[in-house]
A and B are shown apart, each in its own frame.
Chain A
Amino acid sequence: MTEIFWLIPFIPAASTLILAVFGKNLPKKYVSFQACFAVFASFVIAAISAVGLLQTAHASYPLVKNLFSWIQAGSFQANLSLMFDPLSAVMALVVSGVGFIIHVYSVGYMADDEGYTRYFTYLNLFTFSMLILVMGSNLVLMFVGWEGVGLCSYLLIGFWFEKHSAANAGKKAFIVNRIGDAGFLLGILFIFIHIGSAEFTAINQAISGGALSAGLATLIAILLFVGATGKSAQIPLYVWLPDAMEGPTPVSALIHAATMVTAGVYMVSRMNLLYTLSETAAQVVALVGALTAVYAATMALTQNDIKRVLAYSTISQIGYMFIGCGVGAYAAGMFHLYTHAFFKSLLFLAAGSVMHALSGEIDMKKMGGLRKYLPLTYPTFLIGAIAIAGVPFFSGFFSKDAILTKAFAQGQDSAFYYFIWGLGILGAVLTAFYMFRLIFVTFHGEERIDPEIKKHIHESPKIMTIPLVILAFFSVIAGYIGLPVVLGEKLNFFGKFLEPVIKEVHEVHLSLQTEWTLIAVASVVALLGIFIAYVFYIRSPMIPRNLAARFPTIYKLLFNKYYVDEIYNAVFVNPTVKGSEIIYDNFDLKVIDGAVNGTATATGFTGKILSYFQSGLIKDYALIFLLGVIIFLAYLLF
C-alpha cells in the first residue's frame, strides 16, 4: 500500500480545484465536508504509507515516485517526483493530521464568515503546497512548495483584506519572505552548478563522495539557511510573524505555528549532510537559533495581545528546533517540531476559543478570571502551556530536553556549545514565565471584561472544543515516542525511525549521572519560570508594575519590541520607498511617460500636416492624380 503515497498531496489539490471553480454554488455544509475530508484522506494515506515504510527495508529508502519530467533545459533537469522516507513521513503526518484537526475547528470558527468557501479553498491549497514541500524529491519542487505556502500565507494573513492592517501584514510577510527566498534560490543554483542535480538522493551521494569543498559547503549551507530564517521567522527576518496574527486564528495555528514556519527546520534536516560537512554553517544555525529563542522570549514578556505572545513564543520555539539542527541533533529538532505542532496549535486554537467567547477581544488587559466561563478551553489551554513550558511528563519536556542535552554534550568538544546550552536554558525560564503570565492574566485574577461583552460570554461550540481536547491529549502523550536515552536506548522510537535519513555524526556520550542532572535542571528551570509567574501575577501583582516603573527603559524597549520594526523601517523600508518615489518622479514620469506622450504628439503633428492635403475638393484630388500620372510617364519615357 505504500506505493500510493504520491496521492497524499493531490487529494487536497483536487479539493482546492473543485472549491475554486464551483465553490460559489456549493452549500456551506458540503464545502466544510469536502475540505475536511480531503485532508483527512491525505492523513489516512500518509498513515498507511508510514506503516508500510516501517516494514520496508532501510536500503530501499527513499521511495520515489516520478510523475513526469517537468523542466528539461540543457543539462538542467527537474522532475515532478515525490519521495517518501521517514522524514517526509513525519512531516506529512503532522501537516495532514494537525491540519485536519484545524480544518474541523475552522468549521466552527469561521461559520459566520462571508468568505467561508474562499477560506477553505486557501486552506486546502495550503495543505497541498505544504505536502509538496515536504514530499518533493528535489530542491526545485521543494522550492515550488516553499513559494506555494508563502502565497497561501499571504492570502490567509490578508484574508480580511478590507482591514488595512491585515492587508499590510500580508504584504509584509510576503516581502520579508522574498528576501529569504532570494538566498534560498541562490543556494539551490549553487548546488546545481557544483553537483549537477537537484535531486536529494544525488545531492546526498555527491556530498558523501566529497564533491563539495568545506568552503563551498559553508556558502551553500548559509544561503539555504537565509531562506530558512525568512520562512521560519528567525533573526533577522522574524518581523513578519507577529504581524501575521492579523489572519484568522486557525490560520495562525496551522500556518504560523504548526506547519509552514517549521519548513526551514525540515529543510535543514533534509540537507543534514551539508550542515554536517560545514561546521561553521552548523554553528551559525545553532547561534541564530539560540539567540532567537531568547530574544523572541523576551519580547513575549511584555506583550498584551494574546496572539502576539503566542507568535513570539512560536519564533522562540523554532529557535530551539534550529539549536537542535545546529548541534547535530536533527532528530531532536524534528522531534520538537512534531511536539510543538500539537501544543502550539492547541494554544492558538484555545486562544481562538477565548476570542470567540469574548466577541473577538485579544487584549489580555480586558480579560481575567475567564476560568469559570470557559470550562473546556481553560484546562486545554493550561495543558498546552504546561507542555510548552517543559514541565516533566508532558511532550514539550521530552523534545526540549533532547535538544538541550545534545547541545550540552557537544560542549565537551567546544565551549561554544555550552553558551548555546546556556541560552537554551535561559529561554526555557522565559518560556515558562510568559506562558503562565498569559494563563494567570487571562484566566485567573480579577475580571476586567467589558460589561457589554460579558453579556455574550459563552463556551465555544463542540466542533471547536473537541479539536482542543484531541490536541490536548496529544500534547500530553506525543512525547512518549521519543523518551530520553537515560531510560533506555531503545525507547527513542522517533530517533530510530528517522535514523536512515539523518546520520548522527557527533556521537558524544554523556555519563548517566550528567544526563539525569540535565533533566533535573530542565525541570527545575521550567518550574522556576512558572513559580515566578505565579508570584508576579497572582500573589503580589504589584511586582511587575514596580519593575516596569523602576526600569522604564528596559520595559519600554521590550514593550516596543526593541524598536526593530522602526529600525527596519528607517534603514530599509523608507529609503526604498523614498528611492522608488524619486525614480517614479524623475524616470517613470519624465523619461518613460515622456517617451510615450512624445510619440503620440509626434504622430498627431504629422497627421495635422498631412491633413492639409485632404481638402475634400474633388478637383484637388484629380490634380494630384494627374500629376502622379505625368511623373510616372516622364519616368517611363525619359
Chain B
Amino acid sequence: MIPPNYFLILSVILFVLGSVAFFVKKDLITMFMSIEIMLNAANLAFITLARSANSADGQIIVFFIITVAAAEAAVGLAIILLIFRQKKTIKSEDIKLMKG
C-alpha cells in the first residue's frame, strides 16, 4: 500500500502550484482553473486523512466541496462571460471597478 504521506505531499504540491498559478497568470480563466486545482488539492488531503482515520466525515466534506465547486464553476464562468461582454477583456489588471 502507498503510504498516506505521499498523497499528502502530492496534495501540498498541487496546492502550491495552484496558488502560484493564481498569482502569476493574468487571464481570469486560468486563474479560475488554478482555484479548481487548489480545491482538488484540498479534496485529496481530506480523502487521505479520512481513509487513514477510518472516518466518513472527510469523505462527506469532499462531496460538499465537489458540489460547491460545480456551482461555483457555473457562476464564476457566467461572471467572466459577462465581464468579457462588457469590457472586451478578461485580464485581471484591467478590472478594478471596486477601487477605493
Residues of the A chain whose Cβ atoms lie less than 8 Å from the Cβ of B96: 615-617
| Segment 1-44 of B: residues with Cβ below 8 Å from A | 19, 22-23, 31
**Cβ-based interface call for B67 (8 A):** no
**Cβ-based interface call for A612 (8 A):** yes
- Give complex CA distance A611, B92 in Å: 20
Flag if A618 contacts B100 (CB, 8 Å): no
Residues of the A chain whose Cβ atoms lie less than 8 Å from the Cβ of B31: 618
- Least CB distance, B40 to chain A, in whole angstroms: 18
On A, residues with C-beta under 8 Å from B are 610-619, 622-623, 626
* Chain A residue nearest in CB terms to B97: A616
Flag if B100 contacts A622 (CB, 8 Å): no
- Give complex CA distance A623, B95 in Å: 16
Flag if A612 contacts B100 (CB, 8 Å): yes
Flag if A616 contacts B92 (CB, 8 Å): no
**Cβ-based interface call for B87 (8 A):** no
Residue in contact with A614 in the complex, picked from B23, B92, B98, CB distance below 8 Å: B98
Flag if A614 contacts B100 (CB, 8 Å): yes
- Number of interface residues, chain B, beta carbon within 8 A: 12
- Least CB distance, A628 to chain B, in whole angstroms: 13
Residue in contact with B100 in the complex, picked from A611, A619, A623, A626, CB distance below 8 Å: A611
Residue in contact with A616 in the complex, picked from B19, B23, B98, CB distance below 8 Å: B98
- Give complex CA distance A333, B23 in Å: 99
- Least CB distance, B37 to chain A, in whole angstroms: 14
Supplied contacts A617-B92, A619-B92, 8 more A-B pairs, CB within 8 Å: A611-B100, A613-B100, A616-B95, A617-B93, A617-B99, A622-B22, A623-B23, A626-B19
Selected A-B contacts with CB under 8 Å, 17 pairs: A610-B100, A612-B100, A613-B100, A614-B99, A614-B100, A615-B96, A615-B100, A616-B99, A616-B100, A617-B92, A617-B95, A617-B99, A618-B31, A618-B92, A619-B92, A622-B22, A626-B19
* Chain A residue nearest in CB terms to B99: A616
- Give complex CA distance A613, B99 in Å: 9
Residues of the A chain whose Cβ atoms lie less than 8 Å from the Cβ of B99: 614-617
* Chain B residue nearest in CB terms to A620: B96
- Give complex CA distance A610, B96 in Å: 17
Residues of the B chain whose Cβ atoms lie less than 8 Å from the Cβ of A610: 100
Residues of the B chain whose Cβ atoms lie less than 8 Å from the Cβ of A615: 96, 99-100
- Least CB distance, B92 to chain A, in whole angstroms: 6
- Give complex CA distance A618, B23 in Å: 10
- Least CB distance, B34 to chain A, in whole angstroms: 10
- Give complex CA distance A37, B53 in Å: 94
- Least CB distance, A452 to chain B, in whole angstroms: 74
- Give complex CA distance A617, B99 in Å: 8
Residues of the A chain whose Cβ atoms lie less than 8 Å from the Cβ of B100: 610-616
| Segment 63-100 of B: residues with Cβ below 8 Å from A | 92-93, 95-100
Flag if A622 contacts B23 (CB, 8 Å): yes
- Give complex CA distance A588, B46 in Å: 65
Residues of the A chain whose Cβ atoms lie less than 8 Å from the Cβ of B19: 626
Residues of the A chain whose Cβ atoms lie less than 8 Å from the Cβ of B98: 614, 616
* Chain A residue nearest in CB terms to B28: A618
Residues of the B chain whose Cβ atoms lie less than 8 Å from the Cβ of A617: 92-93, 95-96, 99
Residues of the B chain whose Cβ atoms lie less than 8 Å from the Cβ of A611: 100
- Give complex CA distance A613, B95 in Å: 16
Residues of the B chain whose Cβ atoms lie less than 8 Å from the Cβ of A614: 98-100
- Give complex CA distance A613, B96 in Å: 13
- Give complex CA distance A616, B96 in Å: 4
- Give complex CA distance A611, B23 in Å: 22
- Give complex CA distance A616, B100 in Å: 7
- Give complex CA distance A610, B100 in Å: 9
- Least CB distance, A364 to chain B, in whole angstroms: 76
Residues of the A chain whose Cβ atoms lie less than 8 Å from the Cβ of B97: 616
- Give complex CA distance A616, B93 in Å: 9
* Chain A residue nearest in CB terms to B98: A616
* Chain B residue nearest in CB terms to A612: B100
- Least CB distance, A262 to chain B, in whole angstroms: 71
Chain A CB within 10 Å, residue with most, of B31, B97, B100 = B100
Flag if B23 contacts A619 (CB, 8 Å): yes
- Least CB distance, A271 to chain B, in whole angstroms: 71
* Chain A residue nearest in CB terms to B35: A622
* Chain B residue nearest in CB terms to A615: B99
* Chain A residue nearest in CB terms to B25: A619
- Give complex CA distance A613, B23 in Å: 17
- Least CB distance, A608 to chain B, in whole angstroms: 9
- Give complex CA distance A618, B19 in Å: 13
- Least CB distance, B82 to chain A, in whole angstroms: 15
Residues of the A chain whose Cβ atoms lie less than 8 Å from the Cβ of B93: 617
Residues of the B chain whose Cβ atoms lie less than 8 Å from the Cβ of A616: 95-100
- Give complex CA distance A459, B71 in Å: 94
Closest 6 CB pairs of A and B: A614-B100, A616-B96, A616-B99, A611-B100, A616-B98, A617-B96
- Give complex CA distance A623, B99 in Å: 16
- Give complex CA distance A612, B98 in Å: 12
Residues of the A chain whose Cβ atoms lie less than 8 Å from the Cβ of B23: 619, 622-623
- Give complex CA distance A618, B96 in Å: 8
Residues of the A chain whose Cβ atoms lie less than 8 Å from the Cβ of B22: 619, 622
Residues of the B chain whose Cβ atoms lie less than 8 Å from the Cβ of A623: 23
* Chain B residue nearest in CB terms to A611: B100
- Least CB distance, A624 to chain B, in whole angstroms: 12
- Least CB distance, B60 to chain A, in whole angstroms: 23
